[in-house]
Amino acid sequence: MIPFIDLTRQHAALRAELLGAAARVLDSSQFVLGAEGKALEQELAALCGVRRALGVASGTDALRLALAALGVGPGDEVITPAFSFVASASTILMVGATPVFVDIDPATYALDVAAAERAITARTRAIVPVHLYGHPAPMDRVVELARAHRLAVIEDAAQAVGSAWAERPVGAWGDAACLSFYPTKNLGACGDAGMVVTDRADVAERVAKLRHHGDSGRYEHVELGYCSRLDELQAAVLRVKLRHLAAWTAARRRIADRYRARLAGVGLELPIEAAHARHVYHLFTVRHPQRDALAKLLADEGVSTAVYYPRSVPDQPMFGGGAERRWPEAWRASRDVLSLPCFAELSDDEVEQVAAGVVRACGRL
């Protein structure tokens, strides 16, 4: 069976380096808010083309703290796409604000900017675009819309580290952006971790307080904060992996090119890379009206697949439902998307086997 993702390959290749990094932290015995975290913050700020980065406990907390740092709270509405991981919207609820869902552009899965404009009310405070699957949202148009209405922009870049729109990295467009280092993300920790990146000194200072009990420096708690730091072991692991990220992204892009060449004309809708976009293929996601039957045939072919996501966000039981009528593209995506194996350690042979399996499976549908 070809795995959907296999982290053991990555960790076997980096084993000595990772153990060395962990030993360094153990020897320093500084585990929270130390030198590794600081160095990682500088490295990721540079990668995202911004001045500041703040390590936090998860991508979810990065969103939550960024929203709070920008003053989003009760009474505010925040616009976010109806198709994403639940955290893009649940974090809006966590700070006491109201998520306002807008439909997606079916070609890129990014929020539909015209729909976002129609959703703006007097209460709208912010927009949370999501760079889903590693494909950037059209950030020039998102930022232009936000400026015209004085809205904050918080990029959900959890799946898109290293991606860019119009040559400018994701993370550099919004007032703040959120990265996730969940183990299966393109840059994954050995546990939970996340980061807020921002070019705004005021936002960085506020996140620095919020992640550490609202502490302004020395046991002086100036506001209600959280306990959400990125620990030194994870930071050390991430610094080892960050040195390989560019090569891993290049490998993902090569796999995507190969799939695209092999799967043209078999009756699948293939992912696109829009003009101005640099896709980092966190997921290689195809579409087919008989998605479940296709997944079953592929399993019989020895190819593992996965569905991100089987429900739109508003159709999650915690929200009100109604996506089929109100966010039809998000609803349709939840019914027909299917992701194929796409990770850097996949061999050429395996890529070929996946492609051949998909061609055969499509022939039988």
- Exposure of 147 in the CB half-sphere (CA atoms within 13 A): 8
Q: Which is nearer to ligand PLP, 61 or 175 (CB)?
A: 61
- Residue 205 C-beta: closest distance to ligand PLP, Å: 23
Q: Which is nearer to ligand PLP, 81 or 357 (CB)?
A: 81
- Residue 110 C-beta: closest distance to ligand PLP, Å: 12
- Residue 48 C-beta: closest distance to ligand PLP, Å: 16
- Residue 131 C-beta: closest distance to ligand PLP, Å: 8
The CA distance from 215 to 244, in Å, is 35
Alpha helices, DSSP H only, in the chain?
Answer: 7-13, 15-28, 35-48, 59-69, 87-94, 113-118, 139-148, 201-210, 232-242, 245-263, 291-300, 323-326, 328-336, 348-364
List the one residue out of 177, 192, 305, 185 whose CA is nearest residue 248: 185
Q: Which is nearer to ligand PLP, 179 or 340 (CB)?
A: 179
- Residue 86 C-beta: closest distance to ligand PLP, Å: 8
The CA distance from 151 to 357, in Å, is 47
Q: Which is nearer to ligand PLP, 10 or 268 (CB)?
A: 10
Q: Which is nearer to ligand PLP, 211 or 358 (CB)?
A: 211
Kind and range of the H or E element at 180? strand 176-180
- Residue 87 C-beta: closest distance to ligand PLP, Å: 4
Which are the contacts of 234, defined by CB distance < 8 A and separation ≥ 6?
181, 189, 190, 191, 192, 193
Q: How far is CA 39 from CA 36, 46, 290, in A?
A: 5, 11, 47
The verdict on whether omega for the bond into residue 309 sits within 30 degrees of 0, i.e. cis, is yes
- Residue 282 C-beta: closest distance to ligand PLP, Å: 8
Q: Which is nearer to ligand PLP, 60 or 198 (CB)?
A: 60
> How many CB atoms are located within 10 Å of the residue 271 CB?
25
Beta strand pairing call for 194-198 and 152-156: unpaired
- Residue 252 C-beta: closest distance to ligand PLP, Å: 16
User: Residue 169's beta-bridge partner residues?
Assistant: 164
Q: Which is nearer to ligand PLP, 106 or 191 (CB)?
A: 191
Which chain residues interact with ligand PLP by CB under 6 A? 58-60, 84-85, 87-88, 130, 156, 158-159, 180, 182, 192, 194
CB-based closest residue to ligand PLP: 59
The CA distance from 190 to 243, in Å, is 16
Alpha helices, DSSP H only, in 95-222?
Answer: 113-118, 139-148, 201-210
Q: Which is nearer to ligand PLP, 87 or 351 (CB)?
A: 87
